[in-house]
């Protein structure tokens, strides 16, 4: 098994993107025959009902996770909520699933979109730097 620090998580559900600010997070590649990954998020308990509902309905979720370094491309996973545990004023949310696909080149796709929007020069550079930090969902990913 290999474990990695989870820096940010974004869940895509019903054409809606939800960011869940992490207090802490870890992602584990179980390196088993099912290629299973475990994602554990430590977040504010205000999100309890959302995750409890997803778990009760056995919903499959698309999750984009930035791992180890902020400049890494988000990895896409298809996961289900396995457990939601309240710990003091926070929640431990355990997600389990598979890596969705090999990550695409986020920087190249972002640059292509920004040029397609007609940005150039300093405006292009500033927007590219900003979007590389915030990692907005790419138009191309909205069809996945």
The rounded distance, in Å, linking the Cα atoms of 89 and 91 is: 7
Any idea which fold 2-99 has? Pnp Oxidase; Chain A (2.30.110)
- What is the full DSSP assignment across 18-42? EE---SEEEEEE--STT-EEEEEEE
| CA geometry: angle 109, 105, 75, nearest 5 deg | 115
Give the up-direction half-sphere exposure of residue 13: CA atoms within 13 A in the CB hemisphere.
Answer: 16
In the prediction, which pLDDT does 100 show? 81
In the prediction, which pLDDT does 10 show? 92
Give me the average pLDDT of each 10-residue run along the chain (144 residues): 92 87 94 89 96 95 91 89 95 94 71 92 92 79 56
The ranges assigned to domains in the chain are 2-99, 106-143
Which residue do the tokens 């696909």 mark? 101
């Amino acid at each position: 098994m290999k474990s990695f620090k989870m820096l940010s998580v974004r869940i895509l559900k019903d054409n809606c993107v939800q960011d869940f600010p992490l207090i802490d997070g870890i992602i584990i590649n179980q390196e088993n025959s099912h290629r299973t990954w475990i994602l554990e998020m430590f977040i504010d308990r205000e999100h309890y009902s959302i995750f409890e509902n997803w778990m009760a309905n056995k919903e499959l979720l698309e999750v984009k996770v930035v791992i180890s370094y902020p400049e890494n491309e988000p990895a896409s996973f298809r996961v289900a909520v396995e457990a939601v545990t309240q710990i003091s004023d926070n929640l431990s949310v355990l997600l389990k699933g598979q890596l969705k696909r090999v990550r695409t080149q986020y920087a190249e796709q972002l640059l292509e979109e920004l040029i397609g929007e007609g940005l150039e020069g300093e405006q292009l550079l500033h927007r590219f730097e900003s979007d590389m930090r915030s990692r907005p969902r790419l138009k191309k990913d909205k069809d996945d």
